[in-house]
């Protein structure tokens, strides 16, 4: 199964069923090493040493992405609310983008929804939707790699 993403006006919603518990999915979204492993999806890499996490409302996380052309971008987010292990809400102050990550038990795994609101005009594209879907697919691969390494 692969992720799906739907763009509706200034909102982007991506979904994926994962073969991991909600606790493991939560940990992937809140630990620097895991964020670095999947955040870039298929379009960028994240420098592992660049990821910082201060997991509390008002805290945040930041990371550096490196695109295929070598361009580096610093992304920084501020946590709005944290309800482990089911919901994480964070804003990107530079653009006003709000992201809600929802994790729900589903059989022996979890259903993941990433809902982005207030997308800036430059992110209201099919390319952005495909990029977010690729991030969720990269997360699934990361979780699978962890399982195979155990």
CATH number for the domain spanning 119: value is 3.30.530.20
pLDDT for residue 30 is more than 90 = yes
N- to C-terminal Cα separation, the chain: 23
23: containing domain: 4-149
How many structural domains does the chain have?
A: 1
Q: Which residue shows structure tokens 């909600």?
A: 22
Q: Is the pLDDT of residue 150 over 60?
A: no
- The predicted model scores a pTM of 0.93
Q: At residue 78, does pLDDT exceed 70? A: yes
Mode of pairing for the β-strands spanning 87-92 and 4-8: unpaired
């Amino acid at each position: 199964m692969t992720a799906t993403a739907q763009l509706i006006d200034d909102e982007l919603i991506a979904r994926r069923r994962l073969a991991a518990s909600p606790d493991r999915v939560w940990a992937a979204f809140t630990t620097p090493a895991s964020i670095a492993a999947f955040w870039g999806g298929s379009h960028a890499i994240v420098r592992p040493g660049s990821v910082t996490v201060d997991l509390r409302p008002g805290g945040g996380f930041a990371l550096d992405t490196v695109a295929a052309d070598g361009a580096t971008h610093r992304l920084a987010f501020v946590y709005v609310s944290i309800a482990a292990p089911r919901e994480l809400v964070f804003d990107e102050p530079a653009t006003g983008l709000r992201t809600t990550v929802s994790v729900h038990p589903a059989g022996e795994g979890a259903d993941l929804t990433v809902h982005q609101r207030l997308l800036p005009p430059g992110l209201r594209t099919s390319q952005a939707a495909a990029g977010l879907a690729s991030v969720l697919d990269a997360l699934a691969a990361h979780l699978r790699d962890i399982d195979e390494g155990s």
